[in-house]
Structure 1
């Protein structure tokens, strides 16, 4: 994935053909072997080659790289699964090509599986002077590229109704692919899975009244930038996942087409995330989902410095559900049970772990079971209960926000205390010769400050980065739990950093309207430095896990996104090649004075020089240094602090600090 040596895309493609012709023996075979040509944003191609040929290309690239001063950088993404064994020897010729820097086998990456916008302060009623939604003109004129499983483009998806929109921006160079259905998936931007539909409508869906999931979460559904244009790039399929060759092609096309924002709710990317640097170099803000492998540390995905990596957190909405025992006592859990799923009173059958599927499943038909979930794995049991004809499941586990997928049966979550009370009721009833019964009522909606939020979701991947430990990742957290958005047949709740990512994409689109000349780094800086680390009551944001803890920068980066503050951050950090010295640009009042306030990480002395920044009409940027000195020569873990620049009270420009003291020639504590 390198710079193009030709401005003409046809010449770039011709160079790919010439290269492969020298290996495969003919131009016709070279043309037929290429799956994708990357010719707009960078140079490279994906080709169907044998493993031996791929090995030959890579070996040559490694040996010849020091000898070349100027190389046409090519990215070859090779799929070897469908090639005959007798062709393997042909790979060796490709390895000998000096134009090749790297050769990689094509992989597939997984998809990262509405109150949220009002919760973020982007309500429709906000005045233009203070609300980013109106200041940003609803995202009008901005093009958001979404790389995902596609989008349902037929008229039934009201979230994509473009009635009343003006002309397409003149800078748009792309074309729309005609829709053509095939049996399992759609060879077009049409979405078979629903994941891409959900993420696209979250970023820029139109206003849709009376949207709900069977009455839950009812209200107006919309995207963060409802007047922005959507360019959908389908790189994920029902069979085969998201091949990185297809993701690369989507990024390359998006660069050519003229998108302003690129939103990728995908994880475990390797080669495509490096290709994203070409998009950023063209002024495109690139936003990635951080992954759903939390709360384990060092699980963060898509962690390069030039992209925005997003964690997932909760919003101020919950779905309390009454659990009515046969003795008349009512307890409360959380569920997405709706009226038609109410099974009435049914026999209660308690047993142990939710991760163990009992052998007597067939005896659970028309009953409600109670189990205790310590491992976080309930999918096999729930699938078995549904197949067996059970009517419901009560799952007791350590408190967390994510509700399980219980399609087909009434399913409710409770904490261990409530689970123990239900189990004790069943024990007393059985000891008395009575059959314990229970009813799971339909859920209700609660919205507002009585729901403690935000909390970083347990599933949200955590830092630090394995590959780039000097970076604080993720960069920011955004709503990603129980998000209501469009799917194939209406509206549905989904959770994941996939849902958090398009929230940031929609906000970035609004910022691009208000500040059209901001670079991707400036947009990222505004989002990170204005994020908040406390909830509505002023308490520190928590991170879910076992047990819960106070969130730190490896959970949520700079904190929880605050769109309206990001529109007026005061100072912005633009990217520089240095890491110790940093440069800030004044985007606030012309005559401003900022003072540094440091919350030093424990065990470290932090000095900022200069600690006072004076801006005026002729001085709009300042450079400062931050020096860290350990107070104890002790091998340590990461500790956290922050640096905040304050002006006269209007702005507080905060960045997180993560420091680890490392003593050279000392065995590191890696436990």
Structure 2
């Protein structure tokens, strides 16, 4: 029997709670045989079983993960009659913050479980056929959405690692002439023959030591991936060694791409090059600037090349879309947070990749990895039995060559893939099994393509090591990864950086979330799919995770809106995306809006937002001056001298969210003033609908807004007051302006610190 713990699905983003005392749990479990004998059923299940999801709401207070899983086992014991132990029916337990499990049941067993106290719903675990970039379909943006004839005139500037020009995602077949507004150029080099009517511009920048090969060609893959996610052509049959097979596409396949190579392998992306690229992109006539770049520290606006460059872009009516950073899951880790740019967090989709391990004694473990290799069988060896005394954390190649190495002590998938997996690969191993230990946050959702067969499993009972010790010829099979449904997506990936903004705590950052975990898109064929030296496999498409992948989703969505509303300001486009975003579940993300902003983008709804919150350069200047920035500092950001003639509170910025800072158990009262512009029906009346938890009182005045024409504005105030005693650090509420057709939603966040 496989240990139950090896099946526990790591919803790693949930916070730990206090443990149930072991003695009480032992007494509860000791009653199980008595409970079982009280259940008599008139049918004995046969082999007609399928997978059901049993959802039971929130995790019981005072229970640790093991205790919750034990409750699931008891439910199976009470309902299922089978020669197989209860743990054999449970495929996965959800036990970190919410409560539920997946089990293999007959239809009658599922019905009986649905009748039990505490069970909210039971439904089949449906396996659907997925498309490659199913992220767009997952967020409700199918291929047949309305399209504007101006889409082919939209230009997305991508600051990244360049482009792989031969990719089918960037083929220009069927494209018309380059838009007349384009003023850029294409730098030709011996390895880069030029641009076409799809990617219409290519430049490169390098300021620093060393001498890389100066070219716009993407030798790394990152730039091609982000560019194709935003605006790549529709390419059927895209896959990575048959994984994720389907049609790859960007949000705006008819739009044009201009690439600005500012990042170089092993050399990074310098501020000087970033600012130069911003400067060129603005002058070249792009409509959107997509920047999947971050820093290792928090920089004030006037020291931040991306903040400076994006302000200049926004002032020219260019939408700046920037990744939030990959330093999560702790608060205050966000890297790009200027109030004039769109900061994008990374969420999961409804897909995940799991890899099965089968021991020679038929024990099975299901773990995490993107393993593109066919199933292999080899001798097992524990890594601790094959140390290389010449180096720390390394393996003796003579002992592990052509064997499957078992490693332990790792706390996340990502850590293991950068550590144990690479170490085993360099030592010549046939494969690697990592016995992981999940902490508060694991990395279940950002698998990295492995350079050799591998799987990250949970074996708290050390069954794998026990098996190795029990036989003179231990063997195992590592199967190829399989795609499975991630039923509870979306939630924020553990790596995604969290707010609040370290310098501007009244502006919600990140602004939005978008798919950023295991995204398949175009890739460079000059780089191996695992990006590990010695791995010679290359492919035209590859899976990559990060806020770098989330950012171009928003860039593409912004381009989509821009094609319908070319005169909308960047703030209007951001507002449309924020106020129509799909709200996310704070039970799955304890940092709530500081994790996912207004929610996950929904470009289809954003096309008709009803009302928008607009802001321009003058508003941001007043904001900076009111927050203590000097004329000199503001000039660095804006390029304008003596800009600080007046200042305003940061709460006065016309931003589509409201953030309040409060002290525990201390009463607070905070006032906001906002103005909305009517972009929906010419004649319409909106009513304020407030949702707030206990302890918050929110007053909106006036609570009705009446419009008689398009472009008309209306101003209202919001007062947030209350007292928060204990509880979460982030308390969520919302304001929705509703006219019956449009619901314009703004988050209200109280941060208790």
TM-score, normalised to structure 1, is: 0.73
Pick aligned residue for 1:221 from 238, 244, 248: 248
User: Which stretches in structure 2 are left out of the alignment for 5+ residues?
Assistant: 1-132, 193-209, 526-539, 620-651, 654-671
Answer yes or no: is the 8 Å Cα contact 1:319–1:443 preserved in 2: yes
How many residues align? The count is 520
For residues 358-397 of structure 1, the aligned pairs below 5 Å read 360=396, 362-368=398-404, 369-374=406-411, 377-378=415-416, 379-395=418-434, 396-397=436-437
For residues 428-467 of structure 1, the aligned pairs below 5 Å read 428=467, 430-431=469-470, 433-446=471-484, 451-467=487-503
Name the stretch that deviates more: 143-152 or 578-587. Answer: 578-587
Q: Secondary structure at the match of 2:286?
A: coil
For residues 564-583 of structure 1, the aligned pairs below 5 Å read 564-575=604-615, 577=619, 578-579=652-653, 580-583=672-675
Name the residue aligned to 2:311. Answer: 277
Name the residue aligned to 2:64. Answer: none
Cα distance change on mapping 1:239 and 1:180 into 2, 3 Å: farther
Name the residue aligned to 1:293. Answer: 327
The question of 1:262 aligning with 2:295 is answered no
Q: Distance in 2 between matches of 1:647 and 1:413?
A: 50
User: Which stretches in structure 1 are left out of the alignment for 5+ residues?
Assistant: 1-113, 535-539, 544-548, 662-668
Name the residue aligned to 2:367. Answer: 333
Answer yes or no: is the 8 Å Cα contact 1:526–1:572 preserved in 2: yes
Answer yes or no: is the 8 Å Cα contact 2:356–2:455 preserved in 1: no
Q: Distance in 2 between matches of 1:170 and 1:619?
A: 29
Q: Distance in 2 between matches of 1:556 and 1:521?
A: 18
Q: Distance in 1 between matches of 2:687 and 2:373?
A: 57
1:597-646 deviation digits (Å, cap 9, x = unpaired) = 22336533221111111222388321000112234799995533221112
1:170-197 deviation digits (Å, cap 9, x = unpaired) = 1111111112349974423211211111
The question of 1:499 aligning with 2:549 is answered yes
Answer yes or no: is the 8 Å Cα contact 1:348–1:438 preserved in 2: no
Cα distance change on mapping 1:618 and 1:301 into 2, 3 Å: closer
Q: Distance in 1 between matches of 2:708 and 2:322?
A: 36
1:5-49 deviation digits (Å, cap 9, x = unpaired) = xxxxxxxxxxxxxxxxxxxxxxxxxxxxxxxxxxxxxxxxxxxxx
Q: Distance in 1 between matches of 2:282 and 2:467?
A: 67
Residue 517 of structure 1: CA displacement?
2.0
Residue 291 of structure 1: CA displacement?
0.3
Q: Distance in 2 between matches of 1:386 and 1:317?
A: 27
Q: Secondary structure at the match of 2:245?
A: strand
Pick aligned residue for 2:236 from 209, 216, 222: 209
Cα distance change on mapping 1:521 and 1:511 into 2, 3 Å: same
Cα distance change on mapping 1:655 and 1:298 into 2, 3 Å: same
Cα distance change on mapping 1:360 and 1:143 into 2, 3 Å: same
Answer yes or no: is the 8 Å Cα contact 2:446–2:493 preserved in 1: no
Cα distance change on mapping 1:271 and 1:618 into 2, 3 Å: closer
Name the residue aligned to 2:746. Answer: 655
Q: Secondary structure at the match of 2:163?
A: coil
Pick aligned residue for 2:379 from 339, 346, 353: 346
Residue 412 of structure 1: CA displacement?
1.4
Cα distance change on mapping 1:403 and 1:632 into 2, 3 Å: closer
For residues 483-632 of structure 1, the aligned pairs below 5 Å read 483-489=519-525, 490-534=540-584, 540=585, 543=588, 549-550=589-590, 552-575=592-615, 577=619, 578-579=652-653, 580-600=672-692, 603-617=695-709, 620-631=712-723
TM-score, normalised to structure 2, is: 0.65
1:413-449 deviation digits (Å, cap 9, x = unpaired) = 23x3xx235x225415624x444322111112235xx
Q: Distance in 1 between matches of 2:218 and 2:685?
A: 51
Q: Distance in 1 between matches of 2:711 and 2:221?
A: 50
Cα distance change on mapping 1:644 and 1:361 into 2, 3 Å: farther
Say what the alpha-carbon RMSD is for the aligned residues. Answer: 2.8
Name the residue aligned to 1:28. Answer: none
Q: Secondary structure at the match of 2:482?
A: coil
Q: Distance in 1 between matches of 2:382 and 2:268?
A: 39
Name the residue aligned to 2:157. Answer: 145
Q: Secondary structure at the match of 1:319?
A: strand
Answer yes or no: is the 8 Å Cα contact 1:472–1:557 preserved in 2: yes
Name the residue aligned to 1:473. Answer: 509
Residue 231 of structure 1: CA displacement?
0.8
Answer yes or no: is the 8 Å Cα contact 1:348–1:370 preserved in 2: no
Q: Distance in 2 between matches of 1:628 and 1:281?
A: 32
The question of 1:169 aligning with 2:185 is answered no
Residue 272 of structure 1: CA displacement?
3.1
Cα distance change on mapping 1:257 and 1:403 into 2, 3 Å: closer
Residue 348 of structure 1: CA displacement?
4.9
**Divergent runs of 4+, >6 A:** 632-636
